[in-house]
């Protein structure tokens, strides 16, 4: 193995003989990843922008603008909307040869059931350049892949979610200590559910209730005359206005504007039956033949870095798996980060976003939802 000190001495001697500046030594000693990173930044700036499908969070958008766009001079064009619709559009565009979106981050089900089988995404690991991103020791549980092939769908988050919310003027938190309490007559016509017939957190919660309470329970729940919507904002608004008392399947970021406005909404504690472990909106994929390949690689590494994951966790109230990002503060909002509360074994047992789990549990649950809800 070459002696690095001897190599440096030879380089120094050559610089003196040839009259070259000492910066030449620094350049030749630059690690390979740094050279790749510098080149990526240079080429990304020439591309000028990256198109990212992401959740509709104003806090997330502000963080990206403040810490990514201003630093690198790259414009991030956001694509937002209902996950199933956005994913379907990306699939159709890709199959038609239209190259527009570079990356997508969101829930796992629409990716696993839509993008993965259609072959419109490419392996993600080759895009990891920064040592802090590539090193599995930086991540709780190491690198976690949602797809069976373990190379297309990367999971950045892991937590017990807060998907039960209530209007504090219409009921008390102790009124719902169990899923069974949702069957109380006083809640008839007062429960909102994010439509479980399409991929999303509503479908995730529905499948979990089917697993722990059974199909007969779900039939009784439907008998409560649920307010259904595929739009989280719609359900959050009618809860804030007091038109319903409880919502099922909604995420924190849907309630952010109402919480800031001081409206009477709050998350319910986990019921006695417990709660599944989610990956939230942190599943990352790269579209095949991304139109801005270098800006894609640049954004991906920033997003998976400590800073990017800090921005995402703060904006979404969905805790990262990165070990160098504090997530304990989320407990006051009823969110339990997996890395702070669970073992890896418990995580794998309770998670419900992997391809295998989606096919075995969530697809049958969605079929039941279509049968019961029309």
**Tell me: the pLDDT tens digits for 142-163?**
999 999 999 999 999 999 888 9
Q: How far is CA 64 from CA 48, 99, 211, 296, 356, in A?
A: 15, 23, 38, 14, 33
3-state SS class at 324:
coil
3-state SS class at 139:
strand
pLDDT tens per residue across span 22-31: 555 455 578 9
For residue 8, give both structure tokens: 């440096």
State whether CATH 3.40.190.10 applies to domain 32-159+279-339.
yes
Query: Whole-prediction pTM value?
Result: 0.80
167 vs 175: CA distance, rounded Å: 12
Matching CATH topology for 32-159+279-339 and 162-275+366-373? yes
CB neighbour list of residue 122: distance below 8 Å, 6 or more residues apart: 152, 286, 287, 288, 289
User: Is the model's pLDDT at 4 over the cut of 80?
Assistant: no
Q: Which of 4-18, 163-177, 341-355 has the lowest mean pLDDT?
A: 4-18
pLDDT tens per residue across span 329-373: 998 777 889 999 999 999 999 898 999 999 999 889 999 999 999
- pLDDT score recorded for residue 3: 45
147 vs 114: CA distance, rounded Å: 12
State whether CATH 3.40.190.10 applies to domain 162-275+366-373.
yes
Please state the domain extents for the chain.
Answer: 32-159+279-339, 162-275+366-373
User: Is the model's pLDDT at 299 over the cut of 50?
Assistant: yes
The answer to whether 104 and 296 have CB atoms below 8 angstroms apart is: no
- pLDDT score recorded for residue 2: 43
């Amino acid at each position: 193995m070459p002696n690095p000190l001897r190599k440096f001495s030879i380089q120094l001697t050559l610089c003196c003989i040839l009259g070259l500046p000492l910066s030449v030594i620094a350049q030749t000693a630059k690690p390979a990843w740094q050279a790749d990173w510098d080149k990526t930044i240079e080429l990304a700036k020439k591309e000028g922008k990256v198109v990212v499908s992401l959740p509709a969070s104003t806090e997330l958008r502000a963080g990206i603008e403040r810490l990514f766009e201003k630093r690198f001079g790259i414009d991030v064009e956001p694509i937002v909307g209902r996950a199933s619709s956005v994913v379907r559009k990306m699939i159709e565009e890709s199959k038609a040869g239209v190259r527009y979106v570079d990356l997508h981050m969101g829930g796992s089900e629409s990716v696993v059931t839509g993008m993965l089988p259609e072959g419109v995404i490419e392996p993600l690991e080759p895009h990891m350049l920064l040592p802090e991103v590539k090193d599995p020791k930086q991540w709780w549980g190491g690198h976690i892949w949602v797809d069976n092939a373990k190379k297309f769908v990367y999971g950045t988050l892991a937590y017990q979610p807060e998907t039960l919310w209530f209007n504090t003027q219409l009921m008390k938190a102790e009124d719902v200590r169990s899923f069974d309490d949702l069957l109380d007559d006083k809640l008839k016509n007062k429960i909102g559910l994010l439509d479980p017939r399409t991929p999303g957190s509503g479908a995730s919660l529905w499948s979990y209730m089917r697993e722990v309470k059974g199909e007969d329970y779900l039939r009784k729940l439907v008998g409560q005359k649920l307010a259904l919507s595929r739009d989280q904002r719609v359900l959050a608004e009618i809860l804030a206005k007091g038109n319903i008392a409880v919502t099922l399947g909604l995420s924190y970021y849907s309630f952010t504007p109402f919480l800031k406005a001081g409206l009477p909404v709050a998350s319910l504690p986990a019921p006695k039956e417990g709660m599944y472990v989610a990956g939230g909106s942190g599943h990352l994929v790269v579209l095949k033949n991304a139109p801005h390949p270098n800006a894609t690689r640049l954004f991906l590494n920033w997003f998976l870095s400590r800073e990017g994951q800090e921005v995402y966790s703060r904006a979404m109230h969905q805790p990262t798996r990165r070990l160098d990002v504090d997530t304990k503060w989320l407990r006051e909002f009823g969110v339990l980060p997996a890395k702070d509360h669970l073992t890896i074994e418990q995580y794998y047992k309770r998670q419900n976003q992997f391809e295998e789990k989606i096919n075995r549990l969530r697809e049958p649950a969605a079929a039941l939802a279509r049968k019961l809800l029309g």
